[in-house]
């Protein structure tokens, strides 16, 4: 019987990070350049540890190793074995992130023995005029792209999207992208830390060094076509489950609560994650209950059959496989 789980955040200093994860969400941070809070992870060296209930102190990987089908779901184990297939983060960009992309599964497996990295972003907060970079503004050739890297003119080829709270983006592999300064978001992605950084505004780290670029690796991984396939349209019906993203790697729904809502998950052969992106809610199951507020995450086992969401005001992202 695995009760609803919360985990200790894994906090990451980043050159571009800020203080909002502490100021807005109350994360236990002392640094002024914390860019990421990893909420659910089994990435080697960064494995989440339970923060509540009778399983407090156990790692997520320990629970998977001993209760894989109960926790993950039979179909998930058949696909991914005893690996947690997604990585959940909150990100605070005080400065622009580097311009980057991620390889697909085939390239990532061949080069890094890893999954590729398909991801989605839900904008939780954005300063006025804050932007994302998503894709190209026109079709480009491999040669044009390579020339822009050599000539330091890549920024002229890119597509810029001004954002506000609630905007949602799906970033498939190969799509060039960057989170802009002043954006705080929730990120859901395949479990992978494989990133090809192609431009970093010529910034230097605290030791005065330029960060590594992956120019050659990226050439065969970039999708050079202009595609308007990244902005996610989704319903906003309150106290209902609204589909956002349904891809082979994860499914995400948007739930805005103004009253309590019961969910029947009897037929769901997958774990369930709730990311709170506004307000607060209590999640109750036969195995126990947990409360989450904005900037917090809960994991429910695949064996959970009924979920009761109790709130008078909350916005949740519900994630399954």
111 as an active site residue: the answer is no
Dihedral-angle region of residue 234 (phi above 0 means left; psi in -120 to 50 means alpha; beta otherwise): beta
The beta-carbon contacts of 13-18 under 8 Å, at least 24 apart in sequence, are 15/95, 15/203, 15/205, 15/206, 15/211, 16/93, 16/94, 16/95, 16/96, 16/97, 16/98, 16/181, 17/92, 17/93, 17/94, 18/92, 18/93, 18/94, 18/95
CA distances to 84, 111, 117, 249 from 219, in Å: 29, 14, 17, 24
Q: Which of 8, 14, 79, 197 is catalytic?
A: 197
Residue with tokens 């519900």: 318
Pair of tokens at residue 302? 């695949």
The Cα–Cα gap between 263 and 60 comes to: 24
Instruction: Quote the CA–CA distance of 46 and 263 in Å, as a whole number.
Output: 32
The residues assigned a catalytic role are 197
């Amino acid at each position: 019987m695995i009760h609803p789980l919360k985990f200790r955040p894994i906090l990451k200093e980043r050159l571009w990070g800020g203080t909002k994860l502490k100021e807005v969400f109350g994360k236990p941070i002392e640094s002024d350049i914390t860019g990421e809070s990893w909420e659910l992870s089994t990435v080697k060296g960064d494995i989440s540890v339970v923060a509540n209930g009778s399983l407090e102190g156990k790692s997520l990987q320990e629970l998977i190793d001993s209760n894989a089908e109960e926790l993950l779901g039979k179909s998930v184990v058949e696909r991914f074995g005893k690996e947690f297939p997604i990585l959940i983060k909150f990100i605070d960009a005080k400065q622009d992130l580097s311009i980057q992309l991620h390889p697909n599964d085939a390239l990532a497996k061949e080069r890094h023995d890893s999954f590729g990295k398909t991801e989605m972003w839900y904008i939780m907060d954005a300063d006025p005029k804050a932007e994302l970079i998503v894709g190209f503004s026109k079709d480009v050739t491999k040669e044009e792209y390579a020339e822009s890297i050599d000539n330091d003119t890549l920024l002229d080829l890119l597509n810029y999207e001004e954002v506000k709270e609630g905007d949602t983006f799906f970033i498939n592999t190969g799509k060039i992208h960057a989170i802009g300064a002043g954006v705080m978001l929730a990120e859901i992605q395949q479990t992978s830390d494989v990133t090809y950084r192609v431009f970093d505004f010529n910034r230097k780290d605290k030791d005065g060094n330029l960060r590594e670029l992956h120019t050659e690796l990226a050439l065969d991984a970039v999708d050079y076509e202009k595609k308007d396939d990244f902005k996610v349209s989704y319903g906003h019906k309150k106290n209902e489950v609204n589909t956002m993203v349904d891809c082979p790697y994860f499914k995400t729904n948007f739930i805005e609560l103004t009253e309590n809502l019961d969910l029947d998950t009897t037929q769901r052969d997958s774990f369930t994650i709730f990311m709170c992106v506004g307000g607060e809610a209590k999640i109750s199951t036969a195995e126990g209950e947990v409360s989450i507020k904005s900037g917090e995450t809960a994991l429910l086992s695949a064996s959970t059959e009924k979920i009761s969401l109790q709130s008078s005001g909350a916005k949740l992202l519900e994630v399954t496989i």
